[in-house]
């Protein structure tokens, strides 16, 4: 870039162009938010069914999330098709991998010490990750959804564990499902030929 930047306004235009190019390369269509949102809603709902059916280890349904992680890896490996992932995509991937690993460790390796703070921790981590994702791809509805998810994490501290799955479902609807469908609509509108 041998051009001389003549003004602050011109430098902002260059930065905006770089950000827009990055967003196009990331090409976010909402699929991953919808996939994980519906997977969490499925697991939360199934745990309720298993709990009320008298299944002792009803929380084992959450091991389905491991399959979700494998699918996500395959999906993104196929989606990028040898093309380098943009920086924003790499940052998001690392954020969500480490959030997922922390949630898994907290929930399955330390279930007794986690106790009554388990869902608080999970929803707080998901809320923060969603806020960061929304900020990185400059999509405010993800930020709002993350804030709601984070706020609902604190609600779980105040209510009996019987309501945790219902709160989780509501949090995920705001953090993943609504923004996911909005991203999908935006993607389809931008890619109409």
Residue 23 counted as domain residue: no
Q: What is the pTM of this model?
A: 0.81
Residue 12 counted as domain residue: no
d(C-alpha 193, C-alpha 191), whole Å: 6
**Comparing 61-70, 83-92, 102-111, 114-123, which segment has the lowest mean pLDDT?**
83-92
* Domain count of the fold of the chain: 1
Nearest to 139 by CA among 191, 81, 181: 181
Residue 20 counted as domain residue: no
CA angle in degrees (0–180, nearest 5) for 10-16-19: 145
Residue 165 counted as domain residue: yes
Residue 46 counted as domain residue: yes
Grade residue 1 by pLDDT with cuts at 50, 70 and 90: very low
Residue 48 counted as domain residue: yes
Range of the domain at 59: 29-188
Nearest to 99 by CA among 131, 75, 63, 125: 125
The 8-class DSSP code of residue 106 comes to: I
- Condensed to tens digits (0 to 9), the pLDDT of residues 119-177 reads 999 999 999 999 999 998 889 999 999 999 999 999 999 999 899 999 999 999 999 99
Residue 147 counted as domain residue: yes
Asked if the model's pLDDT at residue 64 lies above 90, the reply is yes
Q: How distant is the alpha carbon of residue 108 from its chain centre?
A: 20
Question: What is the DSSP annotation of 60-74?
Answer: GGGGHHHHHHHHHHH
Residues of the chain with pLDDT > 70, as a percent, come to: 84
């Amino acid at each position: 870039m041998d051009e001389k930047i003549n003004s602050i306004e011109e430098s902002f235009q260059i930065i905006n162009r770089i950000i827009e190019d990055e967003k196009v390369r990331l090409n976010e269509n909402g699929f991953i938010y919808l996939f994980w949102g519906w997977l969490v809603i499925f697991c939360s709902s199934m745990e309720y069914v298993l709990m009320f059916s008298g299944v002792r280890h009803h929380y084992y349904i959450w091991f389905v999330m491991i399959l979700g992680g494998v699918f996500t890896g395959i999906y993104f490996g196929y989606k990028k098709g040898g093309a380098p992932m943009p920086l924003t995509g790499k940052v998001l991937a690392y954020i969500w991998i480490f959030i997922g690993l922390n949630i898994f460790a907290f929930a399955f390796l330390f279930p007794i010490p986690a106790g009554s703070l388990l869902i608080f921790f999970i929803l707080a981590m998901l809320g923060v990750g969603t806020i960061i994702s929304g900020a990185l791809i400059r999509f405010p509805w993800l930020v709002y959804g993350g804030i709601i998810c984070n706020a609902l994490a604190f609600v779980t501290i105040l209510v009996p564990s019987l309501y945790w799955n219902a709160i989780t479902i509501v949090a995920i609807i705001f953090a993943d499902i609504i923004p996911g469908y909005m991203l999908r609509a935006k993607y389809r509108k931008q890619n109409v030929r």
